[in-house]
């Protein structure tokens, strides 16, 4: 989950590396470093602990590192604490090989011991240093070229990696290798780029190659050659990315998160329009035929983090609209629990990045067992998108803030659309019901827009609770699923302890945590559950809780119980999560801002979690 950028071309490398790394900081930000080769062929390495800004300050925005070929890295520590010493790039003892790495080399200890016997010494605690020195060892021992030395290393190591390597003897080239960790190569006139993710180089080019597992590449200036692990040259397809560079910039907002919250109406609309034509849902591009849909016996939704919360909402919606049994599972659990899978199961993997290690492993587990898989993915060409049998692309565009907002919203939409179509094809919904539900979906962007116009009220309320110690979110059914997401938003960016509880479950333990003034946010969008949840609100209120109600216009009686109420427009109850989540995203955001925290890059987190 570290970020990698490499540049080889006609321009000064360091400023381009810093700029690219700034777009990848969401992948890790505890230290950063760059290695740039100057005109005399010497490689200079600069590293700094902390945010990328420290590296930028140390190199005067890259000016003190002249040269047109270089590699850079922003780190999310796995092996070895965050420190300058453990930061990448790492070098062989004589500076022959310099590299940056994303991923984990699992057998690094064993390699380290082997290399120590051959006289290598180690200055860091990282697994990366071992791999760098192993490349150096093979290169020298067998007098082989860089591609062969890297290929031999790829066969010897276990684990995952995206590697970017420079060799002293090959001043005109950067070499890269990949297994499991994402890496793309981009070209523009006379310049070559390599990066962990598209936004890092989008400003310079939208033409990219995806490097696949066990593949390598050599980047010259403005040209690239790809190899398989046997060192044979292979052809790859150039893909045009239709995200524009501006989408990866803040565009006048103080934080990416706020910008992305405001992009939700468009993201939701684009995702709906991607499959809705003339009031009908057309899943042809996903490759799912009506026969296949009819044949499904049950669905397992597998995901991590917020994508898992989407699955919890989807469970209610699918079961109600399509009458298919659905189970939702955390990918990290599913992959190891030896699930009993009916051959007619459909496994849906939901992932913004398409690279989350546990979700990818769960997908592969399902595929190995011969189960049909569908990915709901945002990043085009990502591993999950490429490995799944069918893909529903959410059209959220690049999401940079670590705390997801617009990707979550588009994932919900993808699930609703699938549930409606599954219901129709399986005869559980009439054509008219389906048309009405689609029409309702199409009103969501405007309704989200309306909620956003009233954000100052939430800002005011958030400021009052910026010093809260604990926050509880309660709700039932889909409202409980929204609470899970609201609570995650709160804790991940504001560092306030928060919990989401099924409202009816509170009295089985959690209620003992309610003290005088504890903030309890109650979500009530489901008519049939309204009064039940109000009873639970009364229970906590009588124990001192301060209550915020979140409900649809018309349910004004909430004000009899709640001290502060936020209203959202009415919609079909199946889709209420799409509206109820917006004030909760805003709450998390404003509390984080009021506490003076780094909203877009919360401590210890990374957006794309490519380790187990």
Binding site for ligand G6P (CB under 6 A): 304-307, 351-353, 356, 359, 402, 404, 605, 607-609
When the beta carbons of 353 and 494 are compared against ligand G6P, the nearer one is: 353
CB of 187 to ligand G6P, least distance (A): 27
CB of 330 to ligand G6P, least distance (A): 10
248, 291, 437 from 494: Cα distances, Å: 24, 47, 36
Q: Has 607 been annotated as catalytic?
A: yes
Task: Name, in order, each residue with C-beta under 8 angstroms of 509's C-beta and a sequence gap of 6 or more.
Answer: none
Q: Which is nearer to ligand G6P, 36 or 302 (CB)?
A: 302
Tell me the C-alpha distance between 378 and 416, whole Å: 16
> How far is it, in rounded angstroms, from Cα 186 to Cα 301?
34
- Cα–Cα distance, 581 to 409 (Å, whole number): 8
Q: At what angle do helices 406-425 and 305-322 cross, to 10 degrees?
A: 20
Exactly one of 2, 69, 130, 483 is catalytic; name it: 2
In angstroms, give the least distance from the CB of 272 to ligand G6P: 20
CB of 359 to ligand G6P, least distance (A): 5
Comparing every residue's Cβ against ligand G6P, the nearest one is: 305
C-alpha 502/C-alpha 480 separation (Å) is 5
User: Any idea what DSSP says for residue 355?
Assistant: -
Helix, strand counts (H, E) of the chain: 19, 27
CB of 41 to ligand G6P, least distance (A): 40
Cβ-based nearer residue to ligand G6P, 215 or 399: 399
Q: First and final CA of the chain: distance in angstroms? A: 11
Cβ closer to ligand G6P: 245 or 605? 605
Q: Report whether the peptide linkage leading into residue 283 is cis, meaning its omega lies within 30 degrees of zero.
A: no
Please, what is the minimum distance in Å from the beta carbon of residue 404 to ligand G6P? 4
Q: Cβ closer to ligand G6P: 276 or 402?
A: 402
Q: How many CB atoms lie within 10 A of CB 292?
A: 17
> What is the C-alpha separation between 330 and 524, in angstroms, rounded?
26
Residue with tokens 């979550």: 408
Which residue has tokens 């997401």? 485
Q: Indicate the SS3 state at residue 608.
A: coil
Nearer to ligand G6P, 392 or 564 (CB): 392
* Nearest approach, Cβ of residue 475 and ligand G6P (Å): 20
DSSP 411-479: HHHHHHHHHHHHHHHTTSS-HHHHHHHHHHHTTHHHHHHHHHHTHHHHHHHHHHTTT-SEEEEEESTHH
Nearer to ligand G6P among residue 108 and residue 308 (C-beta) = 308
Q: Tokens for 554?
A: 């018309």
Torsion region of 554: left, alpha or beta (phi above 0 gives left; psi -120 to 50 gives alpha): left
Active-site residues: which are they? Answer: 2, 607
């Amino acid at each position: 989950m570290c970020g990698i950028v490499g540049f080889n071309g006609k321009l000064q490398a360091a400023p381009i590396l810093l700029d690219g790394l700034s777009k990848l900081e969401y992948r890790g930000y505890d230290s950063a470093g760059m290695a740039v080769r100057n005109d005399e062929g010497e490689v200079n390495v600069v590293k700094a602990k902390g945010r990328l800004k420290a590296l930028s300050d140390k190199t005067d925005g890259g000016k003190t590192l002249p040269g047109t070929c270089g590699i850079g890295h922003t780190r999310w520590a796995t092996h070895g604490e965050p420190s300058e010493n453990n930061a990448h790039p790492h070098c062989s003892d004589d500076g022959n090989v310099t590299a940056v790495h994303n991923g984990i080399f699992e057998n690094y200890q064993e390699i380290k011991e082997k290399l120590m016997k051959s006289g290598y010494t180690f200055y860091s605690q990282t697994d990366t240093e071992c791999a760098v020195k192993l490349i150096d060892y093979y290169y020298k021992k067998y007098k082989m070229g860089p591609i062969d030395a890297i290929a031999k290393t790829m066969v010897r190591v276990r684990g995952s990696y995206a590697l970017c390597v420079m060799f002293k003897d090959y001043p005109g080239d950067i070499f890269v290798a990949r297994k499991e960790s994402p890496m793309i190569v981009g070209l523009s006139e006379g310049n070559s780029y390599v990066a962990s993710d598209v936004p890092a180089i989008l400003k310079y080019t939208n033409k990219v190659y995806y490097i696949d597992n066990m593949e390598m590449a050599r980047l010259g200036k403005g040209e690239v050659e790809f190899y398989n692990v046997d060192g044979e040259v292979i052809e790859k397809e150039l893909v045009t990315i239709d995200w524009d560079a501006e989408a990866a910039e803040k565009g006048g907002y103080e934080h990416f998160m706020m910008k992305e919250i405001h992009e939700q109406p468009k993201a939701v609309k684009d995702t709906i329009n991607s499959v809705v034509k003339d009031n009908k849902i057309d899943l042809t591009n996903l490759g799912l035929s009506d026969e296949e849909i009819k044949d499904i016996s049950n669905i397992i939704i597998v995901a991590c983090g917020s994508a898992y919360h989407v699955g919890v909402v989807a469970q209610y919606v699918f079961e109600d609209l399509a009458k298919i049994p659905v189970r939702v599972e955390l990918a990290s659990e599913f992959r190891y629990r030896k699930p009993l899978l009916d051959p007619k199961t459909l496994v849906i993997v939901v992932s913004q990045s398409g690279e989350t290690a546990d979700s990818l492993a769960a997908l592969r587990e399902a595929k190995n067992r011969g189960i049909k898989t569908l990915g709901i993915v945002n990043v085009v060409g990502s591993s999950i998108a490429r490995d799944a049998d069918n893909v529903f692309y959410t059209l959220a565009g690049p999401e940079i803030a670590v705390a997801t907002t617009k990707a979550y919203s588009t994932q919900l939409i993808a699930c609703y659309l699938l549930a409606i179509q599954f219901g129709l094809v399986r005869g559980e919904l009439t054509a008219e019901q389906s048309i009405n539900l689609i029409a309702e979906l199409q009103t969501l962007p405007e309704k989200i827009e309306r909620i956003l116009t009233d954000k100052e009220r939430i800002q005011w309320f958030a400021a009052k609770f910026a010093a809260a110690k604990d926050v509880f979110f309660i709700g039932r059914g889909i409202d409980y699923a929204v609470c899970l997401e609201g609570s995650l938003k709160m804790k991940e960016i504001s560092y306030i302890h928060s919990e989401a509880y099924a409202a009816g479950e509170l009295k089985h333990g959690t209620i003992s945590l309610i003290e005088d003034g504890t903030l309890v946010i109650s979500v009530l969008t489901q008519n049939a559950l309204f009064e039940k949840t109000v009873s639970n609100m009364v229970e906590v209120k009588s124990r001192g809780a301060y209550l915020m109600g979140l409900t649809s216009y018309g349910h004004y009686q909430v004000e009899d119980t709640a001290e502060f109420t936020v209203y959202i427009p009415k919609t079909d109850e199946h889709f209420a999560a799409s509206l109820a989540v917006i004030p909760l995203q805003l709450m998390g955001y404003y509390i984080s801002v009021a506490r003076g925290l780094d909203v877009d890059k919360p401590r210890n987190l990374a957006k794309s979690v490519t380790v187990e």
